Amino acid sequence: MNKFIIAAPLMLLIATPAYATGGLVCRTAGTHPLEVALVISHTVVSSAVSARLTEHGRDTPVRIAQSWFEPSEIRLDLVDPQAQRHELRLRAQRNGRFYDGSIWRNAKRRWVRCRES
């Protein structure tokens, strides 16, 4: 009986599912860098859990409007916290270990490279 009392909590800890997450950081080149940092769930269907947009060293509050993650492609749309204004669109294709593509922000298109973090 004493062994069961000790073993039961240990078995519960071992049996819990692993909800793994990963990260992705996308940066533009140039003198005024733009960075998007993402937390991605690695469940049956991968999705963006949270996003952080940094421009000129300052954070811009954003929410994820929609995201699409495939082994060969990433698509992401960010909006302001009230979902009234489109802030950023990211489209990138797999290029070896990285994802290369474009970011559209304030009607400007910029090249971006995304790396797993």
Q: How many CA atoms lie within 13 A of 20 on its CB side?
A: 6
Q: Which residue has the tokens 């922000």?
A: 105
Residue 8 confidence (pLDDT): 52
Residue 58 confidence (pLDDT): 94
Distance CA 45, CA 47 (A): 6
Distance CA 87, CA 80 (A): 6
62-80 pLDDT per residue, tens = 999 999 988 899 999 999 9
**Is the whole model's pTM more than 0.85, yes or no?**
no
Set out the domains of the chain in order of their start, with CATH numbers.
Answer: 19-116 (2.40.128)
17-58 pLDDT per residue, tens = 555 778 999 999 988 899 999 998 877 777 788 999 999 889
Residue 14 confidence (pLDDT): 53
Residue 9 confidence (pLDDT): 55
90-109 pLDDT per residue, tens = 999 999 999 999 999 999 99
Contacts of 97-102 with C-beta under 8 Å, sequence gap 24+, read 99/24, 99/26, 99/73, 99/74, 101/74
- Scored b (16 or more CB within 10 A) or e, 69-83 reads beeeebebbbbeeee
CA distances from 71 to 3, 41, 93, 105, 113 (A): 46, 14, 9, 24, 15
Flag whether pLDDT at 15 surpasses 50.
no
